[in-house]
Each structure stands twice: as structure tokens, then as C-alpha cells.
Amino acid sequence: MLSIATFIAFLALAMLGLPIAHALIVGAQLGLMQSERLGAEFIVSQLVTQTQSFPLIAIPFFMLTGSLMVGGKLGQYLIDLLSTLMGRFHGGPAQVGVLSSTIFGGVSGSAVADASAIGSLLIPWLKKLGYPPAFAAGTIAAAATIDILIPPSIPMIIYSLVSNASIGALFVAGILPGVIMCGGFMVVCYVQGRRRGFPRDTTPFDWARFRIQLLYSLPALALPVLIIVFLRFGIATPTEVSVMSTLYALIVSWVVYRDLSLARLKHSMIDAGLATAVVMLIIMASSVIGWILTFEQLPADFVALVQRSLGESWMIILSMNAIMLAVGMFIDLPAAVLLLTPMFVPLAAAIGMDTVQLGIMMIINLSIGLYHPPVGTTLFITSSIAQVKMGKVVIELIPFYFVAIGILMLFAFVPAMTLRM
């Protein structure tokens, strides 16, 4: 079978350290060598075809919006505001990191960008306050993944491409798990701060200072609200919203914060272009694998096999989550979404789960892999910033894992938790 040959080739190449996108393309080529009817020109055709999708235009614009907003003065203004608001609570400085990631989720949509930007600001600050470096790194690594739940979310756009789910519906449904995840991680910070006696701000609350900080932070706080309003009431499509968000970021940086220079604009555009290229390459590579799976009717066979073997809906949902958790530990999130969605959409439909709930469950699940070894991207970034061994960070992350899995089970088994447009 083409699928088996392709999978074996992909797995071997990935284990040898070849980047996932390249392993997918080369694996597909090696697999197709088993076929007399399909040649290399077929792979080229599939690579190009998948990119001809209008909603994909949203990805570079949302990337550029995040780069413009996070790379300027906004980050420091927002952290100052949250420090004033939360600093006096147990674990307050760590809670600032969780809240910062949640708010930046409304302007970035990328967990990796969040971990780099927020981590470089907050981890040295937390270490200076007396927080253990491993705890500081673990908190930011976990909190950064809230970015891909709060709209705009790049993984949700990728998921919608394969599943045909509404991007607007996914964005709206992602708000509640993002907020609950934020609350759960803040509770972990509070409990750890109180139990371990982490330092906190003891100065009296300054209302005048708070009002000034709130005024400077309002542009960042307003952007995610505007995105949801425009999508919820059908004012604009997700692609149009992405362009408007970039224009908004340009105006805010130039007029309000006055920190937009040609050099920073050039740097932001290069960063957004490189990040988009990585995502697009994975989308192109996964399209070939997806076609091979469909050609051999593997999704239909997979659904029949699972239904025969497990039967009960709750067992099928549990097994889907177990597979996603395992895959998410070894494969980058965009590639995992593109590989698993064609298999799981028909299976979810067979047990009465709609594509929006499946998408939210998948994003929550695969986000855990971003701060779980061995491939955890945000875990690697924050450990490097904190200059601490990943093993120590993983120990600090244990309570965050429990919270994330608990929330995952809630949204997997309770359909009412998935908000509808």
C-alpha cells in the first residue's frame, strides 16, 4: 500500500532528524515510487494546489499584526499594567505572564512568537524578583499556548482548511477554553506562590498610575474584541479582518506609540514572512500525504475499524485524544493538525461530534505537546531564555499538565462547552 510505504519512509526520515515538512515530501516521493501511475509531477501539482486557498491569505497578515504589536512598546506597557493589577497577589508576577500571553493571543495567534516575546521580557524579570528560573520558564512555556486558543489563531485557520469548518465559528469557540485555561494556570501560580513563598509586590495600589497604564494598553486590549465583533456579526470575513488588523497595528504603532520606524517595519515583515513560509511549507507537504490517504480510502477504513473495535462514543473520543497527545509530543502542531484532521473528521461525524468541537479539542490537545518533551517548542525557547535544563522545567510544569488535561476532557466530553456563533 502507498500509505504504508509513505508512512514508513516519513517516520524513518523524521527519526533521522530531517525537518518535518521535508520528511513529508521525501516520504511521499518514496511512497509513490511503489506506484506505476503516479510520478514526481503529481507531487508538484499537489504542492501548488493546496496553496490556492483564499483563507490562507489571513496567515501572513495575522503574523505581521502580531510582530508589529508585540515588537514595540506595547509589550512593556501591558506588562506594567498587569503588574500593577496582579503583583500583590500570591504568585502575582507569574500570573502576569499568564495574563500577558492571553492578551497577546488576541494580537499574535502564534504560541512560538508569544514564548519568544513574552519570555524575553518576563523571565529575566521573574528571576530578578527571586522566582526559580525553572518555574519562570515553565509558566511562560505553558501560558504561551493560550495564544492559539484566543482568536486570531493560526492553527485554527489551518484546521479549517482541511476540515471545511468555519474560521469564524472556530475563533468564537476558542474564546472560552482560552479564558478557562488562563484561569486554571493563574490558580496554579497562586497556589505555588503561596505554598513556596514566592515574592510579591507589597506597595499600596496606585489608582492614578493604573489609569495611565490602562490608557496606554487599551489599543492592545481592543484588537481581539474588534476581531470577534467583526466576525460574530458578519461585518468582514476572516481574511478581511486579518488585513484590517494589520492596518490597525500600523496605525497604533505609528500614531499612538510612535515607535514604528522603517527598520522595525522591515524586521517585522521579514519575521512574518519567514514564519508564514514555515507554515506554508508544512501545509504544502501535508497535502500530498492527505491525497494519498484519501486515494486509498484510509479515513473510511479507519472509521470502520475504530467503530468495530471500540464501539462506545466515549471510548472513541478517549482514543482520539490519546493518539493526538502521542503525536503532539513528536510532530510540530501545524503538521499534526494537517495529518490527523482527514482521519478524525469522518470519525467524529460518525459519533455525532461536529467539526468545530473536534477542532477545539484538537487544538487544546496538540498545544500540550508544545511544552512537553521531547519536541516541545515553547519549552525549548523558555528554557533557553531562562538558561536552565529542560528536565527541571518539566518538573515545574507537572501541575500545568494536570490543568490542561482536565480542561481538554471537559471540552472533549461536554459539547455544550463549545460556543456557537
Q: Is residue 128 situated within a structural domain?
A: yes
What is the pLDDT tens value at each position of the chain, 421 positions in all?
A: 677 777 778 778 877 877 777 888 888 777 777 766 666 667 777 777 777 777 788 888 888 887 787 766 777 777 788 888 887 888 888 998 898 888 877 666 678 777 887 888 889 888 988 899 999 999 999 999 998 898 888 899 889 988 989 888 998 899 999 999 999 999 999 999 999 988 887 777 778 888 888 888 887 778 878 887 887 777 888 888 888 988 988 888 888 888 888 888 888 888 888 888 888 888 888 777 777 777 777 777 777 888 788 878 899 999 999 999 988 888 888 888 988 898 899 999 989 999 999 999 999 999 999 998 877 888 988 999 899 998 999 999 999 999 999 999 999 999 999 887 6
Q: What is the pLDDT of residues 35-54, one digit of tens each?
A: 666 666 677 777 777 777 77
Q: Which three cell numbers stand for residue 5?
A: 510505504
Amino acid (1-letter code) at residue 324: M
> Cell 531564555, residue?
385
Q: Which three cell numbers stand for residue 386?
A: 531562562
Going by the DSSP 8-state scheme, the letter that residue 147 receives in this structure is G
Q: Which three cell numbers stand for residue 278?
A: 514555515
Spell out the long-range contacts of 338-344 with Cβ–Cβ below 8 A and sequence spacing 24 or more: 338/158, 338/162, 338/282, 338/283, 338/286, 338/287, 338/289, 338/290, 339/286, 339/289, 339/290, 341/159, 341/162, 341/163, 342/162, 342/290, 342/293, 342/294, 342/299, 343/293, 343/298, 343/299, 343/302, 344/320
Q: Is residue 254 situated within a structural domain?
A: yes
Amino acid (1-letter code) at residue 200: R
Q: Is residue 368 situated within a structural domain?
A: yes
What distance in Å separates the CA atoms of residue 23 and residue 31, rounded to the nearest whole number?
12
Q: Are 42 and 32 in contact (CB under 8 A)?
A: yes
Q: Are 212 and 111 in contact (CB under 8 A)?
A: no
Rg (CA), the chain: 22
Least Cα distance to 148 among 382, 344, 333 occurs for: 333
Q: Are 50 and 36 in contact (CB under 8 A)?
A: no
> Cell 507569574, residue?
94
Residue 394: HSE in the Cβ half-sphere, 13 Å Cα cutoff: 12
* Per-residue model confidence (pLDDT) at position 398: 95
Give the C-alpha distances (Å, rounded to integers) separating 411 from 109, 404, 414, 417, 419. Answer: 20, 11, 5, 6, 10
* Per-residue model confidence (pLDDT) at position 412: 95
Q: Is residue 183 situated within a structural domain?
A: yes
What distance in Å separates the CA atoms of residue 46 and residue 286, rounded to the nearest whole number?
10
Residue 113: partners with Cβ closer than 8 Å, 6 or more residues away: 63, 66, 67, 70, 147, 275
Q: Are 382 and 141 in contact (CB under 8 A)?
A: yes
Give the C-alpha distances (Å, rounded to integers) separating 280 from 52, 129, 234, 283. Answer: 11, 40, 27, 5
Q: Is residue 291 situated within a structural domain?
A: no
* Per-residue model confidence (pLDDT) at position 365: 95
Q: Is residue 67 situated within a structural domain?
A: yes
Q: Is residue 286 situated within a structural domain?
A: no
Q: Are 88 and 202 in contact (CB under 8 A)?
A: yes
What distance in Å separates the CA atoms of residue 106 and residue 116, rounded to the nearest whole number?
16
Residue 53: HSE in the Cβ half-sphere, 13 Å Cα cutoff: 22
* Per-residue model confidence (pLDDT) at position 189: 95
* Per-residue model confidence (pLDDT) at position 59: 84
Structural domain for 113, as ranges:
50-260+296-417
Q: Which three cell numbers stand for residue 92?
A: 502575582
Q: Which three cell numbers stand for residue 326?
A: 502521542
Least Cα distance to 252 among 124, 410, 18, 69 occurs for: 69
The number of domains in the chain is 1
Q: Is residue 343 situated within a structural domain?
A: yes
